[in-house]
Amino acid sequence: MLKLLKKISFVNKLYRILSPKSLETRLQIRAADDTCSYIEEHMMKIHSESSRNAVIDRALENVKLKGLHLEFGVFSGETINHVAKKCPNTTIYGFDSFEGLPEAWRDGYKPGHFNTKHKLPKVNKNVVLIKGWFEDTLKPFVKEYKEPVAFLHIDCDLYSSTKTIFTLLKDRITKNTVIVFDEYFNYPGWREGEYKAFKEFVAEQNLSYDYMTYNR
């Protein structure tokens, strides 16, 4: 009887999650519909990819500029190690506080989410981790390293953090800089996150850009 009750409880919970009446589900459906509309308007002629790593690979294949390879939002190190393996002769710089989100992002992501409890991930030999908040670590970095940004991976979720990146790198982002966003769209509130910070940046700097691919 106990096993049966547990199964019934699980089924009821699953139904609440998957039901069209679930607010969580309806919000995601709305976000997906909005994303599809954006893709139809801006990305219909480009080839999409089936995974995050495939997007990263496509981006790296199109890096023509000699310059810095940067990642913002390292967390477990999975993506930065993938980049490092693809670019064994290039130093990849990874920025992260490793203390989690500095502020709430969206439902389910409170301040401190993604906190690694100060444990840095194991990374490849050609990876350099820079621990701290972006506004504290990126300022001295750009003073020391004068090269343009060749490859930029933004995986920091928040509008404010992405805004800081673009503000401090505005003189290093140039023609042929390749930028990959991890949370550009397809989640509730996406127009207020990394997407918004990027749109503001290109408008302020009067820049044009082309979309290369996206994760379908």
Q: Report d(CA 165, CA 172) in Å as an integer.
A: 11
Looking at the domain assignment, is residue 34 inside a domain?
Answer: no
DSSP codes of every residue in 93-145? EEEE-SB--SS--STT--TTTTB-TTPPPP--TTEEEEES-HHHHHHHHHHH-
CATH code where residue 157 lies: 3.40.50.150
Looking at the domain assignment, is residue 48 inside a domain?
Answer: no
Looking at the domain assignment, is residue 179 inside a domain?
Answer: yes
pLDDT at 170 over 90: yes
Tell me what pLDDT residue 50 has: 94
pLDDT at 214 over 90: yes
Q: Tell me the pLDDT tens digit for each residue of 124-150.
A: 999 999 999 999 999 999 999 999 999
Residue recorded with tokens 């790198």: 169
pTM: 0.86
Task: Report the domain count for the chain.
Answer: 1
Name the phi and psi angles at 55, rounded to 5. Answer: -65, -45
Looking at the domain assignment, is residue 20 inside a domain?
Answer: no
Name the phi and psi angles at 141, rounded to 5. Answer: -65, -45
pLDDT at 81 over 70: yes
Average pLDDT, the chain: 91
Looking at the domain assignment, is residue 198 inside a domain?
Answer: yes
Q: Report d(CA 202, CA 200) in Å as an integer.
A: 6
Looking at the domain assignment, is residue 101 inside a domain?
Answer: yes
Instruction: Yes or no: say if 135 and 162 are a contact pair by the CB < 8 Å rule.
Output: no
Q: Report d(CA 9, CA 21) in Å as an integer.
A: 18
Looking at the domain assignment, is residue 216 inside a domain?
Answer: no
Residue-number span of the structural domain to which 185 is assigned: 62-205
Q: Is 214 exposed, middle or buried (0-12, 13-18, 19+ CB in 10 A)?
A: buried
Looking at the domain assignment, is residue 45 inside a domain?
Answer: no
Taken in order 8, 13, 17, 19, is the CA torsion positive or negative? positive
Instruction: Yes or no: say if 193 and 158 are a contact pair by the CB < 8 Å rule.
Output: yes
Q: Tell me the pLDDT tens digit for each residue of 7-57.
A: 556 556 655 555 656 888 999 999 999 999 999 999 999 999 999 999 999
